[in-house]
């Protein structure tokens, strides 16, 4: 385990020392430098251009979404430990004074807050399903959706941030189109990452479902080949890291959000997601911390 | 009040009907279309270019920040009703089953969650102060900081979102430099907004401090001219809306975060903030919902 720990720390040190990311007192939250952001925004432009002509429309969503929408996603049941529920203060002057007293004396103060009507966004695509409720046009719909996401899993590994960006291509429609969309974007996504000089592999995967029941869900997800990840190695002594992934949701979101196909069936859906911050980190890891020195063919992809 | 309500609703209808924003079940959260995002990102590029050569460095922060940092900002004392505290689930399988039962039977389920070590970001500049702790170089430091911000104030007015983007220029150093920085950026900010064809005015303002004590704080902030806003009118029957603002913090953040000047005094600070989403809305309001039809001189500023 020494090698594992030391690689995580070595890469962390290299990126923090270079100033690309700025760490603070909480693991998994980082300030991003101008250079880091330049690469992230070039990657966003790249992903948007790649989708051009194939994905009909594009939306950016805020980092929070309605609690009622979160409740419909099934996330509470599958990943309760990763969620972020937003609470605020709804009391009067006296209760406020008590709250401030607690905080100023270093005691826990947040337990008395009221849950608000919003949650932190766990996956970009969750925000878009409510707007698709109803009957889809013939052939279904395809959308690009981007947002900041939050997952409560503090870690010193830079590749496991609590707050990170995701760009997803979402398809809703019939089952065969959904599978074809998934297959096509896994191929195109892998090719694009290879074109950026990354050594990647497409692998069957499962989500980190919570608890004892979660193990069954994870196994069944693998057996049905519902989740694939595009992984890259940051270190030969450690498992590779997913930098993009695709899930087939079958009729999960179609059923919950009331989305049906033109022929009247419950819509199936799939998404292909770019892990923006992980891809940026992979690029810095593989090509060095100075993007002006990256190989010309890699630069040509991102700065065309 | 009829005119007021009806303008808010008219503008809301126009923007939603045009597809620039997509509303959902919670007031103040909107999906942003490709066109809306194109204007927002051009504005970000504009603000970054404007700062070039004057502001030393630039950072993008996540939409959440460490709870300990939030506690140091004074926000809990001044604006408790606007904060977003992030809570998650830390229980076992049995507690998880109870949580899911509550949610599935439509009862409140979030009260038993545990406060995490993070809060939603209330103002972009809050994230950067911890990284400035210590002794500043001669002349202080200037930084651009951007992030998504959250304020819990649900409203149907599009100009009052719960989740929105802010770009700030922050200065930390001595008092006279801080005041000069504030004055200079209020001027440059106003000129830039005028150049975009907006009819704006710089006015003395105050923050919406909470409760009875808050009224005193607001009055003293006005009397000391610590806050200015650049406002524009969306409707002659309503108060104008702040689309940029600047605060002098005196030694508030310097003291709390342990930042001192080269000569050993507690650092003073100031920030100038662009309300990205409000400026984008003002541009759509004043120039129409199709940016390709905006006046050539306005387009030249944003698409140089």
- CATH of residue B173's domain is 3.30.930.10
Residue B3: the pLDDT is 46
Q: B289 touching A, CB under 8 A?
A: no
Number of domains in chain A: 2
| Residues B102 and B221 grouped into a single domain | no
Residue B2, pLDDT above cutoff 60: no
Burial of A118 (0-12, 13-18, 19+ CB in 10 A): buried
Contact A87 B82 (CB under 8 A): no
Closest to B249 (Cα-Cα) out of B162, B132, B163:
B132
| Residues B101 and B142 grouped into a single domain | no
pLDDT block averages, 10 residues each, chain A of length 304:
65 96 97 98 96 95 98 96 98 97 96 97 98 98 98 96 98 98 98 98 96 93 96 92 98 98 98 98 98 97 95
| Residues B78 and B126 grouped into a single domain | yes
Residue B239: the pLDDT is 93
Q: What's the pLDDT tens digit per position in B175-186?
A: 999 999 999 999
Q: Which residue range forms the structural domain that includes residue A178? A: 2-84+122-302
| Residues A74 and A150 grouped into a single domain | yes
Average pLDDT over residues B37-44: 97
ipTM attached to this prediction: 0.96
| Residues B137 and B162 grouped into a single domain | yes
Which residues touch A149 (CB under 8 Å, ≥6 apart)? A63, A120, A121, A122, A123, A124, A163, A164, A165, A166
| Residues A102 and A205 grouped into a single domain | no
| Residues B295 and B148 grouped into a single domain | yes
Query: How far is B110 from B204, CA to CA, in rounded Å?
Result: 40
| Residues A44 and A113 grouped into a single domain | no
| Last residue of one domain, picked from the residues B76, B100, B119 | B119
Contact A81 B66 (CB under 8 A): no
Is residue B227 a contact partner of residue B207, using CB atoms and an 8 Å limit? yes
Main-chain dihedrals φ then ψ at residue A275, nearest 5 degrees: -85, 90
| Residues A205 and A265 grouped into a single domain | yes
| Residues B186 and B97 grouped into a single domain | no
Q: B108 touching A, CB under 8 A?
A: yes
| Residues A111 and A229 grouped into a single domain | no
| Residues B55 and B99 grouped into a single domain | no
Q: B116 touching A, CB under 8 A?
A: yes
Contact B64 A32 (CB under 8 A): no
Q: A148 touching B, CB under 8 A?
A: yes
Q: What's the pLDDT tens digit per position in B209-238?
A: 999 889 999 999 999 999 999 999 998 888
Contact A58 B88 (CB under 8 A): no
Locate all alpha helices (DSSP H) within B92-249, ordered by sequence: 93-104, 175-195, 211-223
- The pair of three-digit structure tokens given for residue B149, joined into one six-digit string: 């911000």
Percent of chain B scoring above 90 in pLDDT: 95
């Amino acid at each position: 385990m020494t090698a594992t720990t030391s690689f995580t720390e070595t890469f962390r040190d290299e990126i923090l020392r270079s100033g690309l990311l700025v760490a603070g007192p909480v693991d998994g939250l980082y300030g991003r430098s101008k250079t880091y952001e330049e690469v992230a925004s070039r990657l966003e432009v790249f992903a948007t251009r790649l989708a051009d002509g194939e994905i009909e429309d594009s939306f950016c969503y805020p980092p929070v979404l309605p609690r009622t929408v979160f409740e419909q996603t099934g996330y509470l049941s599958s990943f309760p430990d990763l969620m972020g529920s937003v609470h605020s203060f709804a009391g009067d002057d006296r209760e406020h004074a008590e709250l401030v007293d607690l905080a100023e004396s270093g005691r826990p103060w947040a337990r008395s807050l009221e849950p608000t009507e919003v949650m932190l966004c766990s996956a970009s695509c969750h925000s878009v399903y409510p707007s698709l409720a109803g009957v889809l046009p013939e052939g279904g719909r395809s959308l690009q959706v981007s947002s900041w996401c939050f997952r409560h899993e503090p870690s010193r590994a830079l590749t496991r941030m609590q707050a990170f960006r995701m760009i997803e291509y979402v398809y809703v429609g019939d089952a065969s189109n959904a599978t074809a969309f998934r297959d096509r974007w896994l191929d195109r996504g892998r090719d694009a990452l290879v074109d950026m000089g990354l050594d990647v592999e497409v692998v069957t995967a499962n989500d980190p479902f919570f608890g004892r029941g979660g193990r069954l869900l994870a196994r069944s997800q693998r057996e049905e080949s519902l989740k694939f990840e595009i992984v890259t190695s940051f270190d030969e002594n450690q498992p590779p890291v997913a930098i993009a992934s695709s899930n087939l949701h079958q009729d999960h979101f179609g059923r919950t959000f009331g989305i049906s196909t033109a022929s009247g069936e419950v819509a199936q859906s799939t998404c292909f997601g770019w892990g923006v911050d992980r891809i940026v980190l992979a690029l810095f890891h593989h090509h060095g911390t100075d993007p002006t020195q990256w190989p010309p063919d890699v630069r040509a992809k991102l700065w065309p």
